[in-house]
A and B are shown apart, each in its own frame.
Chain A
């Protein structure tokens, strides 16, 4: 048995040695735990975890009344993997059908596939709607993927386009509020932790952490859709009628600074911003610096009255309508003679205003301009605002003060000008304009609300009270009678600025504007209208003021206080029928004003015909007609009738002078107010010179 023992002994040796192996293995496992366990576990968790993005919904933009102006809709992108088996056989029918469905040519689609940069992926079409998606999905073509994403939809197309702005195809804010509030609107996307394997395939993990997306906030505007539409319509109409290159109009609550409407012409459709050029996308209300012209006279008026260098009743010698300041001649449209400072404003006398302004210290004038917000942005909550230019007194030349007093050598955005007039309307406070009234979270809870933000007191309430009558007079009988509305007190100022073209002023290119507010005694709305290069007339009172009037009339429906003033007194007896005055031979505008004053409704004459005499009026003159009935005017063909002196009695000085001056008649005015007598009788041949006596 020696051999057997030997064998067993060797067996025990083997047993012992082999038994050591598992000890090594256990040792190794323990070593892994102890030395690199933490690191390995971290690595394992990292490689196994991935996250998918849960997109956040972009917030909507609502108008003041809660109407949705900008919303999200589901849109689909069509992507294709042309290498998927089975696609090639269906390719030609697929492209044909797709071409028929979308109108995109099949050849273009094929080229897109042929020129794809990635072998297995090509984005064929974007922004397909739900119907197209269903149709394409029903074809069941292999390799076709329809990827859902949210797209922006502007429900009212171009309405308020410049306020809303637009987004890029990726949903990034590009302009307007979409850009300004991009962070707030887009929210924060969430994440869901998923499990990943070595092929990158993701599995949803039940216990995976989920970070809910933070949806974008809803933004509520101060703008009202109805008012905005009216403003846009009337501005577009005014721009079309006057043949202006562009126009901009802003309406604001003068007490709070809330922008009630903001319109630009030309405008664009934010649903397809790419189809419009930069000029159409430009929000000129805040991005265009323009020399304001006479509307800027507010600054000199405020400074002069508050500093006590003049009162409204003081007589100012405007002489023959021209004067020389610092070697430069300042001209008026007419020789007004000696008129009150109130009339200097009402009639927009450059000479008078320059004379008053030259009584002021340049530093004082500068300070008032500065306090009224010129030379600095208004800090409106819209992107791209420019600050305007206001030269410091040490950079002034000898003529700067007088130039500036009538709105030259200074530039400002329309919004700045409006904000300055808001100060006049609200008693001297410069308010910060804003368009965002409120922000709400996804559940409709208000998270932020705008409050009135007055930047500073620009002048004393007493100054505003003192100046108000003068600015009312501008509308009543001054340069802006076309802004007049019966029953509604309106204060405002026209601006007619020659455009500086290449360093010198162009005598034929004007920027016409009107800025005002109503009701003058308790202002609710301040509105500015600016037209660039109107062709029918350069005067703000002729082209911009009517826009103001139409907007104010139509807005009355949304402003109860204003509507009350305009509403006819119900218990008045039926207006008696009267003989319609004969206005044939009179300039169309003059005729229309007369008939309107008599209580008839007159469709406005075509802009081109306004200065032409009336050839036919319907119904015929002297027909008995109740006030409120419609009278149509037809202007004579150009130059077919010999010019005759019209009957201008009863018209405002401004209107009479306007027409006569346009005909080359030199007008001499005695007194002010309405024309009481004319030196040349109506119907006589048009004289060279006429004297109007006014009361």
Chain B
């Protein structure tokens, strides 16, 4: 009886909501469709070596994951984001504990990719962090300029999450950190505090690089500059084979030209490592040329503008605004960093292109984030 009233009220509540944002929906569907086509082409090599040319098996798996991600988006678009806020602290703490457990237990228990039930704790952590930072910012608006009461708690939570993620995956950590700081900035956190943090960050990064010649050399190799006296850039450069990967990606883009070599005709997919994942943007640029690359970037720019101006600006409450900004920033940063790596603007890291790249867990996380964003859009005034 009670359950029925609950259900009824839920249905009524859903019906009472605005329809979700169509633009974001189309962008996501478009990205997913482009991803299916591109992955089908790019996966050929992997399929040949792993399952004797059965490309369809990989395609079906990818389609299944796309469906799962879109399903997650639908489900989360129906859950009130304010309800999620209530569990955000719990979720964040839980995911941080998981990160620690995974870190301690290590590879023996959870495999090289450290998954739990096929899900990486970091994917949970980054969504939970965005939610909780939104919650904190909303609660602390009254004394937001305070260092000890506003900035420090934020810094503790963000710092803890970023460090735990960063142990394994520096580039994801960087995106999470950037997204969280953007939220803080929009949430009126003192520019001085953020600026100071930035300064400290630069010093810390310098120290980190100083003590890790390998990383330093990667940066040097990428920039083509000698920054640190103690590194051996050339050696590391060749060892890590990054020059090779970056060059293969640049070749892919150069081969593409304006209009591309045509669907399914990529040659560089045989030379790029993980072309279906880390370098899918390069494959698209090769097969569809500059126009293909522009369309892809345009989708993300559309998501950015629409997310900020249509959803965040018109969010019913500050929490919705902060959360929308955080979600959009994170999704869009993934896209831009991926593209930046593919065209040699950024050092090589293994970041997926949301909704496009082949790979389950990041796709699901992106689906959840879009779902939350869509839910916010249902409440816009």
Contact = CB atoms under 8 A, between A and B. Distances in A.
Which of B251, B309, B339, B345 is most buried by chain A, counting CB atoms within 10 A of its CB?
B251
Given A32-B254, A36-B250, A198-B271, A10 B188 contact: yes
Interface in B218-270: 247, 250-255, 257, 267-268, 270
Range class of the A interface residue count: 20 to 34
Given A10-B188, A33-B290, A41-B255, A25 B343 contact: yes
B325 interface: yes
Contact of B254 (A11, A26, A36): A36
Interface string A12-30: 0111001101101110111
B308 to A, nearest CB: 5
Given A25-B336, A28-B345, A197-B45, A33 B257 contact: yes
A183 B329 CA distance: 70
Interface string B267-311: 110110000000000000100001001100100110011001100
A19 B271 contact: no
A47 B267 CA distance: 10
Classify the interface of chain B: helix, strand, loop or mixed.
helix
A195 B340 contact: no
A14 B328 CA distance: 11
A13 to B, nearest CB: 8
Nearest to A197: B270
Contact of B301 (A4, A22, A37): A22
Interface string A95-114: 00000000000000000000
A689 interface: no
B253 A22 contact: no
Given A7-B318, A33-B257, A48-B267, A14 B329 contact: yes
A691 interface: no
A198 B270 contact: yes
B2 to A, nearest CB: 39
Contacts of B257: 33, 37
A535 B204 CA distance: 105
A3 interface: yes
Contacts of B254: 32-33, 36-37, 40-41, 44
A196 B141 CA distance: 60
Contacts of B301: 19, 22
A21 B270 contact: no
Interface in A26-58: 26, 28-30, 32-33, 36-37, 40-41, 43-44, 47-48
Contacts of A11: 186, 308, 312-313, 321, 325
A21 B343 contact: no
A36 B255 CA distance: 11
A8 interface: yes
B141 A14 contact: no
The interface centre, meaning the residue of A8, A24, A32, A43 with most chain B CB atoms within 10 A of its CB, is: A32
A19 B255 contact: no
Contacts of B336: 18, 21-22, 25
B177 to A, nearest CB: 15
A29 B290 contact: yes
B271 A47 contact: yes
A8 B313 CA distance: 7
A44 B251 contact: yes
B182 interface: yes
A140 interface: no
Contacts of A22: 297, 300-301, 336, 339
Contact of B250 (A6, A13, A32): A32
Given A37-B254, A195-B267, A14 B186 contact: yes
Contact of B304 (A18, A30, A48): A18
A315 B306 CA distance: 130
Nearest to B336: A21
Nearest to B312: A11
B332 interface: yes
B268 A15 contact: no
Interface centre among A13, A21, A29, A198 (most CB of B within 10 A): A29
B344 interface: yes
B354 interface: no
Contacts of B182: 14, 18
Contact of A28 (B141, B321, B332, B344): B344
Contacts of A15: 304-305, 308-309
B187 interface: yes
Contact of A7 (B186, B285, B329): B186
Contacts of B147: none
A261 B300 CA distance: 86
Interface string B49-67: 0000000000000000000
A29 B256 CA distance: 10
A48 B269 CA distance: 11
B185 interface: yes
Interface in A513-538: none
A25 B270 CA distance: 24
B251 A43 contact: yes
A32 B332 CA distance: 23
A32 B344 CA distance: 9
A26 B270 CA distance: 25
Nearest to A25: B339
Nearest to B142: A3
B188 A25 contact: no
A197 B48 CA distance: 12
Contacts of A6: 188
B191 to A, nearest CB: 9
Nearest to B141: A3
Given A3-B188, A48-B270, A195-B267, A24 B340 contact: yes
A647 B200 CA distance: 135
A195 B265 CA distance: 12
B343 A32 contact: yes
Contacts of A40: 247, 250-251, 253-255
Given A26-B294, A48-B267, A10 B340 contact: no
A32 B248 CA distance: 12
Contacts of A195: 267, 270
A120 to B, nearest CB: 19
A32 to B, nearest CB: 5
A37 B251 CA distance: 8
Contacts of B188: 3, 6-7, 10
B371 to A, nearest CB: 22
Contacts of B185: 10, 13-14
Contact of A26 (B268, B297, B305): B297
A44 B252 CA distance: 8
Interface string B171-191: 000000000001001111000
A618 B182 CA distance: 129
A41 B251 contact: yes
Contacts of B250: 32, 36, 40
B132 to A, nearest CB: 19
A609 to B, nearest CB: 81
A18 B251 CA distance: 27
A146 to B, nearest CB: 23
A10 B290 contact: no
B335 to A, nearest CB: 9
Given A36-B250, A44-B251, 4 more contacts: A10-B186, A22-B301, A29-B293, A32-B344
The 9 closest A-B pairs by CB, nearest first: A197-B270, A40-B254, A44-B251, A21-B336, A37-B254, A22-B297, A40-B251, A28-B343, A28-B345
14 contacts: A3-B188, A6-B188, A11-B313, A11-B321, A15-B309, A18-B304, A21-B336, A24-B340, A26-B294, A29-B285, A29-B343, A32-B344, A36-B254, A195-B270
Interface of A: 3-4, 6-8, 10-11, 13-15, 18-19, 21-22, 24-26, 28-30, 32-33, 36-37, 40-41, 43-44, 47-48, 195-198
Interface of B: 45, 141, 182, 185-188, 247, 250-255, 257, 267-268, 270-271, 285, 290, 293-294, 297, 300-301, 304-305, 308-309, 312-313, 318, 321, 325, 329, 332-333, 336, 339-340, 343-345
